[in-house]
Structure 1
Amino acid sequence: MARPDKAAAVAELAEEFRSSNGAVLTEYRGLTVKQLQDLRRSLGENVNYAVAKNTLTKIAARDAGVDGVDDLLNGPTAIAFIKGDPVEVAKSLRDFAKANDKLVIKGGFLDGSALDADEIKKLADLESREVLLAKLAGGMKANLSKAASLFQAPLAQAARAVGALQTKVEQDPSSASAPAEADSAPADAEGSEG
């Protein structure tokens, strides 16, 4: 490969590293072209799965400021550059590796931190971002419902007390007028003295 081609490949890889949330490095030795196509399809639109030369990848990673990748670059390497949900990508890679034992997850990085193969597998065991957000929203909704019922309780008690008083007055009108007459009696006494 001529020098300008290598420089262009390094620049392209460095841009992929910079524009990605993370990347997972895999060894694909022994996979057929059809299996690689199936893998790319299973990873979805938000992932660029690219085969790259190790020396060029080391240079590109260094240019992009990504550390911890050099040790993973031995043997044939393909990189899944993640632009979307890293959990979904980790799950897809894990599931594909279970079905095709020739795919080996070496490790990667996420948000600037290096990850080994076990950490990628733990990431795959997490629930997706959407599921976690839904659970968070459900928990918040439950807490808001509890708070609303707590704020409603005193109002409901007051309404029940007023309702009970109104029912009592309707059943026995003399009980409601007795306190009013008692309040007016001292006022009449004061008016007659003056």
Structure 2
Amino acid sequence: MSEKIIAKKAAIVEELVEKFNAASSVVVADYRGLTVEEVTNLRKELREAGIEMRVIKNSYLRRAADKAGYEGLDEVFTGPTAVAFGSEDATAPARILAKFAEDHEALQIKGGMIEGKVVSLEEVNALAKLPNREGMLSMLLSVLQAPVRNFAYAVNAVADSKEDGDAA
């Protein structure tokens, strides 16, 4: 094999290593059976959420994952493989791919990596059921506000009862 080809392949692997390291989550899926239009729609939906989906040779993916320190992904790098790299919202790739897979049986999620940890299909599906970052922050804010709101109601009730007592 010529040095030029080897250098090109090494550059692809290095680019993938950077993507693995920069991603907060990576979801691996088998896209076999999807039409071109369906894949295009999926890519568009992922792109709108800031997620990059690529179809890459498994040998490149294996080398890049090993080089990035993610052991255990070799089992999911079989057959036609599409990889979604998400860097902003860790739940977004899993959530979008799982929703798309519900409507399109041909898409099969295989597994992935979340926050530097290799995860199984079951863990990806569990992550897909979580709300997005904004939803989680909203839930946290609601929980934090509850004691303050209850205290305000109690103070208001005491003030109202004092007012009623003075009027009588």
TM-score (norm 1): 0.74
Do residues 65 (structure 1) and 36 (structure 2) align?
A: no
2:18 corresponds, among 15, 25, 30, to 15
Aligned counterparts of 1:74 and 1:107: Cα–Cα separation in 2:
11
Matched residue type, 2:61: T
Aligned counterparts of 1:37 and 1:148: Cα–Cα separation in 2:
52
Structure 1, unaligned runs of 5 or more: 168-194
Structure (1 or 2) with the larger CA radius of gyration: 1
User: 2:59 is matched with which residue?
Assistant: 55
Any residues of structure 2 matched to 1:38-49 within 5 Å, and which? 38-43=41-46, 44-49=48-53
Give the fraction of aligned pairs with identical amino acids, expressed as a percent. 36
Structure 2, unaligned runs of 5 or more: none
The CA deviation string for residues 42-72 of structure 1, in whole angstroms up to 9 with x for no partner, is 2234111011111111111111122221111
1:37 corresponds, among 30, 37, 40, to 40
Label 1:115 to 1:59 Cα distance change in 2 as closer, same or farther (>3 A): same
User: 1:146 is matched with which residue?
Assistant: 150
Aligned counterparts of 1:18 and 1:88: Cα–Cα separation in 2:
17
Residue correspondences, number: 164
Could you tell me how far 1:101 is from its partner in structure 2?
1.6
**Greater relative contact order: 1 or 2 (C-alpha under 8 angstroms, separation 6 or more)?**
2
Aligned counterparts of 1:99 and 1:17: Cα–Cα separation in 2:
28
2:7 corresponds, among 4, 25, 44, to 4
Asked if 1 retains the 8 angstrom alpha-carbon contact of 2:25 and 2:93, the reply is no
The CA deviation string for residues 97-131 of structure 1, in whole angstroms up to 9 with x for no partner, is 12222111000010111111121111111222212
Aligned counterparts of 1:119 and 1:97: Cα–Cα separation in 2:
15
| Bigger helix fraction | 1
Any residues of structure 2 matched to 1:168-179 within 5 Å, and which? none
